[in-house]
Amino acid sequence: MKNLLSVFFTALILISCGSDQEINDTKIFLNFSHNVDGNPVSMDDLSHTNLAGENYNVLTLKYLISDIKLISNEKDHEKIIKDIHFVDLSDPSTMFIESDIIENGSYTLQFRFGLDATTNVTNSFVNETFHTSMSWPEMMGGGYHYMKLEGSYTNDSTFYNTHTGPTMGMDHSFLCSFDVPININNSTNNLEYAIEMNINNWYGPEVVNLEPAIMMNMPTQMNLMMNGMMGVFNLQGLLD
Amino acid sequence: MNRGIIVLLLVLLFFSCKKDLIIVEGCTDQMSSNWNPTALYDDGSCLYDTIIPFQTTPYNIITPFGFPDMIIPEDNPLTLEGVQLGEKLFNDPILSADNTLSCSGCHIKANSFSENNQYSTGIDNIEGFRNASALINLGWNTSFNWDGSVQTLEEQVFEPVTNPIEMHDTWVNVESKLNSDTIYKNLFKNAFNIDYIDSIHVVKAIAQFERTIISVDSKYDKWMRQELQLSPSELNGFAIFNSEKGDCFHCHGTEMFMDNDFHNNGLDANNFADLGLANITNNADDIAKFKTPTLRNIEFTAPYMHDGRFSTLEEVVEHYNSGGNYSPTVDPLMKKIGVGLQLTNAEKQDLINFLKALSDYNFINN
């Protein structure tokens, strides 16, 4: 009897200690949203105005981000959420990412806008949906566009093509890091964040004009990169 | 006394019935060819017919350089038997109501499986309203027809057979004709293991054949393989094609020279005779958008555009060089609307010479 009671209470103790083990089912959901200085994106009237004073709308927005990951506060480990993600404003299915289960810890989010030089190689992603629309000709540097941002400006029949990419083989991709703390423990529910792009911030503070053809314009490509680094993207917690 | 009579009767009954209780030996396996249903004891005499499982010969596609994996539906893998059957059907006018028009009647190999008429004419002498598409490299397309009305090759094959301005037949009639033909019966049995030929398997066979119509051996391809050099004119044309000077690559890019997308390329300003993709999506934003065709073998596929309005490559280049026509749904990639590419005559000829370097003579002639 005494032995049976000992076994019973030992089992009870083991079970009650189980909840202290690091087991959770927390996932991260990333939603992509786009605005122009806080206003909804206009595909019709030329209601947006950039730093250069040009009025425009947005008819096409496609871009690639890569190496999307969580970095621990101690910088001692990372959790890759997704290697490459293609966003197409015309395709709602591209507007979110669902991560795998994330281990307990305190993190920040980081991704690369575009593809780095090692990754951005012609025909590397032939089976991806973005291969046909985002390919960047070999004679201009090869690989893939980082972004296609297109629309009308000044009047309906004048089109701009803000296409960014590896002009002449130069790597114009850049890292985006966000200070928003992402804390996960056993009691954390799924977390949801919005990655917001302010389209107007591509065109300033380094003034970039709307033009039809900039793929081989190195100074403009560099200005777009710098503007991108200075704050095109913002991370907003939605559910935490 | 009575008990004795009963015993005697039972004994008599036993001996009279004894012959019916003899244990029969024989084959007791119901799966055998000589199963004896009366046998109570298996004597090892069972015989079995040799069953040859249905087999076909896989037809393997070698993915060309720079192409993605071919889209092959799981329920219609490529087999040698299916491809050969599909080729026979493709070339057979039996699919048309009056047995005069085959698929190859409007999709001619010498024209890269298109035809040189602006519109094709069906068996009732009624003209169509769109130019016959070139049927090459179809296995890498994600939609079909100029308006993207169908998503698979199998679906696409259904329509011309019954279209009143094309083959104007019925599938009931086609099935009847095929099932009356001993050769087709055997070919379908070999390809699909079916005893009754139905429309599903007809389109499957033709789709299999169409997936094998692959053209990737042009002068350009040989140059990419470093087997020869392009001429200076062709090289300059390549540069114009792949830069924002000509800007052709944005729609006709990658090794497929198409993008599996739909664009309004500024053919008309208004009064659209054909709404294109909008007919399928019922979305006004898709008015006058048509599927980007491949430019491979473009030299052989005149006339050009969905309605065959341009007779020559010169006219096509001139359309883009002049800027095209604005309409609310014109693609923003047509960024030189009203201005044009502003190519010189020499540059236009260089661009055309490069387009001709996409011709695969080996494909056309063999």
Give pLDDT tens digits along chain B (366 positions): 456 565 566 555 555 555 555 678 999 988 888 899 899 889 999 988 777 788 999 999 999 999 999 999 999 999 999 999 999 999 999 999 999 999 999 999 999 999 999 999 999 999 999 999 999 999 999 999 999 999 999 999 999 999 999 999 999 999 999 999 999 999 999 999 999 999 999 999 999 999 999 999 999 999 999 999 999 999 999 999 999 999 999 999 999 999 999 999 999 999 999 999 999 999 999 999 999 999 999 999 999 999 999 999 999 999 999 999 999 999 999 999 989 999 999 999 999 999 999 999 999 998
Using a CB-CB distance cutoff of 8 angstroms, which residues of chain B are in contact with residue A60? 332
Predicted confidence at residue B12, as pLDDT, reads 58
Residue B287: partners with Cβ closer than 8 Å, 6 or more residues away: B264, B272, B275, B276, B278, B327, B328, B329
Contact (CB<8Å) B253/A59: no
What's the confidence (pLDDT) of residue B168?
97
Distance (Å, rounded) from C-alpha B346 to C-alpha B348?
5
CA distance B106 to chain A (A): 29
Structural domain total, chain A: 1
Nearest to A157 among B66, B249, B337 (CB): B337
- Two tokens, residue B186: 């055997």
- Whether residue A6 lies inside any domain: the answer is no
The per-type count for chain B, helices as H runs and strands as E runs, is 12, 4
Which of B192 and A184 is assigned the larger pLDDT? B192
User: What is the rounded CA–CA span in Å between residue B336 and residue B146?
Assistant: 24
The answer to whether residue A126 is domain-embedded is yes
Residues on chain B bordering chain A, Cβ-to-Cβ distance under 8 angstroms: 65-69, 238-239, 242-244, 247, 249, 253-256, 258-261, 326, 328, 330, 332-338
Give the nearest partner residue to A161 out of B67, B330, B332, using CB atoms.
B332
Q: What is the CA radius of gyration of chain A?
A: 23
Tell me which residue in A60, A131, A160 faces B254 most closely, judged by beta carbons: A131
Task: Say if the Cβ atoms of A126 and B67 lie within 8 Å.
Answer: yes
A9 within a domain of the structure (yes/no): no
pTM, to two decimals: 0.87
Residues in chain A: 240
Q: Largest Cα–Cα distance in chain A?
A: 92
pLDDT one-digit tens code per residue, A43-55: 999 999 999 999 9
Taking a C-beta distance cutoff of 8 angstroms, is the pair B146, B323 a contact? no
Is residue A18 a part of any domain in this protein? no
User: Which residues does chain A have within 8 Å of residue B244's beta carbon, measured at their own beta carbons?
Assistant: 161, 212-213, 215-216
pLDDT value at position B23? 72
For residue A196, list its beta bridge partners. A33, A234
| Least confident residue range of A177-191, A204-218, B80-94 | A177-191
A19 part of a folded domain: no
Residues of B in contact with A131 (CB under 8 A): 68, 254
Answer yes or no: are the C-beta atoms of A116 and A171 closer than 8 Å.
Answer: yes
Which contacts of A221-227 are long-range, i.e. CB under 8 A and separated by 24 or more positions? A221/A164, A221/A165, A221/A167, A221/A170, A221/A172, A222/A172, A224/A162, A224/A164, A224/A172, A225/A164, A225/A172, A225/A173, A225/A174, A227/A201, A227/A202, A227/A203
Contact B253 A135 (CB under 8 A): yes
* B244, B258, B338: residue with CB nearest A216: B244
SS3 A151: strand
Chain B positions touching A135 (Cβ under 8 A) are 249, 253-254
Q: Which amino acid is at B118?
A: Q
Are A127 and B69 within 8 A, CB to CB? Answer: yes
Give CA–CA dist B343/B241, Å, rounded: 12
Mean pLDDT of the residues in chain A: 91
Give the span between the Cα atoms of B29 and A26, in whole angstroms: 59
Q: Which of B242, B244, B254 sits opposite A132 (nearest CB)?
A: B254
| pLDDT attached to residue A19 | 44
What would the two tokens of residue B261 be? Answer: 């997308």
How much is the pLDDT for A60?
A: 98
Distance separating alpha carbons of residues A178 and A227, to the nearest angstrom? 16
Strand pairing category for A191-198 and A27-35: parallel
Judge whether A88 lies within some domain: yes
Question: Which pLDDT score is estimated for A5?
Answer: 62
Paired with A162 in beta bridges are A149
Distance CA A231, CA B83 (A): 56
For residue B176, the tally of other CB atoms under 10 A from its CB is: 11
Tokens of B80: 């040698």
- Could you tell me if residue A71 is inside a domain? yes
Q: How far apart are the first and last CA of chain A?
A: 50
φ/ψ of B111, rounded to 5, equals -105, 30
Torsion angle, alpha carbons of A12, A14, A17, A20, to 10? -150
Report CB contact under 8 Å: A133, B259: yes
Indicate yes or no: CB of B243 within 8 angstroms of CB of A139: yes
Query: Each residue of A48-92: pLDDT tens digit?
Result: 999 999 999 999 999 999 999 999 988 888 999 999 999 999 999
- The pLDDT value recorded for residue B79 is 98
What average pLDDT score do residues A134-157 get? 97
Residues of B in Cβ contact (< 8 Å) with A152: 332
The type of residue at A136 is W
Q: Which residues in chain A are closer than 8 Å to B264, comparing Cβ atoms?
A: none
For residue A119, the distance in angstroms to the closest alpha carbon of chain B comes to 16
Range of the domain at A52: 24-238
With a CB cutoff of 8 Å and minimum separation 6, the contacts of B231 are B353
* A128 inside domain: yes
Indicate the DSSP class of residue B166. T
Please tell me which residue of chain B has the smallest CA distance to A130: B259
| Average pLDDT value for residue range A198-227 | 98
Q: Which residues of A touch B328 (CB under 8 A)?
A: 156
Nearest residue, CB atoms, B338 vs list A131, A138, A157? A157
pLDDT band at A21 (very low <50, low <70, confident <90, very high): very low
pLDDT value for B229 = 98
Which residue of A148, A158, A159, A162 to mutate against B (max B Cβ within 10 Å)? A159
Distance from CA of A204 to the nearest CA of B (A): 22
- Taking 90 as the threshold, does the pLDDT of residue A239 lie above it? no
**Whole-angstrom distance, CA of residue B3 vs CA of residue B7:** 6
So what's the pLDDT on residue B344?
A: 98
The share of chain A scoring above pLDDT 70, in percent, equals 90
Whether the Cβ atoms of residue B47 and residue B32 lie closer than 8 Å to each other: yes
